[in-house]
Amino acid sequence: MREPLCISSKRMLTCPPEMSVSTIQDLNLVDLEAVSFLILDLSDWQVGYQQLRRVRSHVNPDIYLKPVLFRGSSEAVPREVLQASDGIIRPDETEVEIEFSSWSARLEAINVRIDGLKKISKDGDSNIAFKVLRLIETRNKEFKPIPSARKLSGHIYPSLQPLFPKQDIGVLETLEFLENQKLITGQFVSRAYGCTHCGCAFLNFFEICPDCNSSDLYTEELIHHFRCAYVGGKSDYKQGQELICPKCDRALKHIGVDYDKASVVHHCNNCSNVFQESGVMTSCYDCWRETKPENQLIRDIQTYNITALGQNAARHGMDSLLQTILETKVYAISFDAFKNFFRLEIARIERYKVSISHLVILRLDAIDQIYSTLGKRSRQVFDELSEAFKAALRTSDLFSVRDETIFLVILTETPLDKAELAMKRLEERIIALLTANLKMECRVEREIYPIEAGIDLENKIELFLQTHAD
């Protein structure tokens, strides 16, 4: 049975005497597998929150992912701080040990998940997106945003926020990145405007004169007196507390019965323009820049859940699954290495002037679709794909993947017709795999370029992308 661990602070409330106590600096020395959760003192919530951030900013997954409970009164503590931890233990709890063991049991599932994570690097997890993904995976819950005036982004994901060293923008962008990678999935909650310059959600919307853009406006309600058809501003009618028609001297009694408000008119105090449809401008409270609303950022605020692919990535690392498989099975090399080999091949051909090699650039547009529709089962398809590549390529060929969807091959000592034949076979096999077996729409685009003096790999890729633009 794992035990809780108190993190000491000067004002730490009393913990049970037999409970282990440590400091954040010494957490590396603790047997974290035996720790159920960390307890942080909340008597000064700012100190408590600071400690939580120190825990979460650690690179060791056993530390930053460890469940953390605040102990203290939740009165006057901001909601986002309370929700940043995994729970609250009241200080007046009499049966502390029972409470602790209850929490230990409830948090055990999280600890089991933490135990199941692969150690990616001996240096720990430094990639913030990966840390976010792992936290989401171990908590296995829906991550909901709450509106907050304390953050420029206007919304905060309380339990994710302490992972970020800088206190503001970053969470939303990271979540967006993870969603684009299909590692997490978002569910719409609301839509929010943000400053297009600095991302700040605190915008002042104000009406402006359509002619001179001044916001110095005077708005007037026009009152129509039914009896005499007089129309004037409210100030025309106002006599003390009463509304008296200046035309017929009758008191206005009931709106809708003897008068109504026909319309609203704005007067610009700057240029004297009169208008009904004012323009709208926004100004950012952070950077003070003024921008038209239609040019501001509009963000979808979402709740997030982890996907099957995300779970896999959280456990085994964020490198592309397909890339990993290809590296293992087809011996794909990194793009940087590929560039070096490409340069050498050009030099070799130029030097001996007898060799004919070709560069193949191939794009497969179904990768995203495979991720999104198959989830965990993507691996099986990628295994099949790697088999197709393996069959089409010779061991002397050089192979690399860029951005998951672009495949680069140097077909050494291969004339054009042979290169065409090999790629045609590869294409047929991929299409057969995806279209016939998985009923998936698939498009394979490819170009073959002779490798010769002066050829530039980046230019060729750029040319390929332009030629085969979506």
Partner 1 sequence: MRKKVYKLARQKLFHELPLVSVLVPGKNEGRHITSLVDTLAQQTYKHIELIVVDDGSDDDTPLIGRRLQKLGKITLFIRNEIRGGKASAANTALKFARGKYIIHLDADSHLKNNAVETILLPFFINPDIGAVGGDVRVANIDAGIVTRLQAIEYFKSISTGRTVSSQLGILRIIAGAHGAFRRDVLQRIYGWDVGPGLDGDVTLKIRKLGFKVIHEPFAICYTNVPNSFLKLIRQRFRWDRSLIRFRVRKHRDILLPSKNFSIKNFLASAENIFFNLIFDIKWWIYIIQIFIFARDYIEVIFIINLFIYSVVNFLEFALAVALLGKTLRPRELLLIVWLPLIPLYTGFLLRSVRTFAYIMEILFKASFFDRWNPWKVSKISKKDE
Footprint of partner 1 (CB under 8 A): 222, 224, 226-233, 246-247, 256-258, 260, 262-263, 265, 274-277
Give residue for tokens 């290169």.
419
Q: How far is the CB of 276 from partner 1 (least distance, A)?
A: 6
Q: How far is the CB of 280 from partner 1 (least distance, A)?
A: 15
- Any alpha helices (H) in 116-214, and if so which ranges? 128-139, 171-180
DSSP state, residue 331: -
Residue nearer to partner 1 on the CB measure, 26 or 221:
221
If the CB atoms of residues 28 and 272 are measured against partner 1, the closer one turns out to be 272
Nearest to 346 by CA among 360, 356, 336: 356
- Cβ atoms 108, 183 nearer than 8 A: no
Describe the crossing of helices 128-139 and 308-316 by its angle, rounded to 10 degrees: 120
In sequence order, the 6+-apart residues with CB closer than 8 A to the CB of 70 are 39, 40, 41, 42, 48, 52, 82, 85, 87, 88, 89
d(CA 171, CA 187): 16
> Taking the complex as a whole, how short is the minimal distance between the CB of residue 274 and partner 1, in angstroms?
6
Nearer to partner 1, 137 or 236 (CB): 236
Q: Which is nearer to partner 1, 280 or 298 (CB)?
A: 280
In whole angstroms, the minimum distance from the beta carbon of 238 to partner 1 comes to: 16
* Distance of closest approach, residue 290 Cβ to partner 1, in angstroms: 21
Q: Give least dist CB 240 to partner 1, A.
A: 21
- In the bound state with partner 1, the residue whose beta carbon lies nearer, of 240 and 256, is 256
Q: How far is CA 401 from CA 6, 130, 206, 278, 466, in A?
A: 48, 21, 50, 54, 18
* C-alpha–C-alpha distance, residues 87 and 127, integer Å: 26
Helix, strand, coil content of the chain in percent (nearest 5): 35, 25, 35
> In terms of CB distance, is 233 or 375 closer to partner 1?
233
Measured from the CB atom, is 21 or 248 closer to partner 1? 248
Min dist CB 259 to partner 1, Å, is 9
The set of residues, in sequence order, having a beta carbon less than 8 Å from that of 133 and lying 6+ positions away, is: 178, 183, 184, 306, 310, 313, 314, 318
